[in-house]
Amino acid sequence: MIEFISDIMGSGGIGTIAGGLFGGVFGWLNRREDRMSRAKDQDFELRRLETQSKADTQTSEARAFEQSQVSVSAVGDAIKSAVRPLITGLLLFMMLRLILEMEEITGGIASFPVDILATMYNDIIMNVITLTAICVSWWFASRPSGISHRIK
């Protein structure tokens, strides 16, 4: 009986059935792993393309901004150079007039209560710091860099 069972188990038919069964299961597992690997690769490629697209857009916008700052006219540059100080002077004059008129209307800063004076002092200091930073940034941002002259 054991010989009969071993003959059947050792026969080509059982080997074919077992090979087909195990081969099918392992083949299915391999295809499943391949699909999962392809899905991960596709997801990575999609994220890479999205990131590259964002970077290209930002680069394009930066170049467009850079080109918008380039002046091709000497007359335009001269007008721009003359108008900036005029606007600044006009704003300073208007501020002086406003301060003098407010001083006259209110009777001066000494007429305010101490708590209002402390709030005003804080607001004025913060505004002066902010405006100074904006002014310095604006003046330096509007000037060409000396680095490009050294590189060429």
Tens-place pLDDT, residues 63-88: 888 887 776 777 877 887 788 888 88
Taking residues 18-34, report their average pLDDT. 72
Rounded to whole angstroms, how far apart are CA atoms 38 and 48? 15
**What confidence score (pLDDT) does residue 44 get?**
93
**What confidence score (pLDDT) does residue 135 get?**
83
| 108 against 24, higher pLDDT | 108
Judge whether residue 150 has pLDDT over 60: no
**What confidence score (pLDDT) does residue 46 get?**
92
Tokens of 71: 């002046």
Rounded to whole angstroms, how far apart are CA atoms 50 and 43? 11
Question: Are the beta carbons of 54 and 63 closer than 8 angstroms?
Answer: no
> In the chain, where are the structural domains located?
2-64, 72-109, 112-143
Question: Are the beta carbons of 112 and 106 closer than 8 angstroms?
Answer: yes
Tens-place pLDDT, residues 91-145: 999 999 998 998 888 888 888 889 998 999 999 999 999 988 888 887 777 666 5
Q: What is the DSSP string of 46-66?
A: HHHHHHHHHHHHHHHHHHHHH
pLDDT band at 9 (very low <50, low <70, confident <90, very high): low
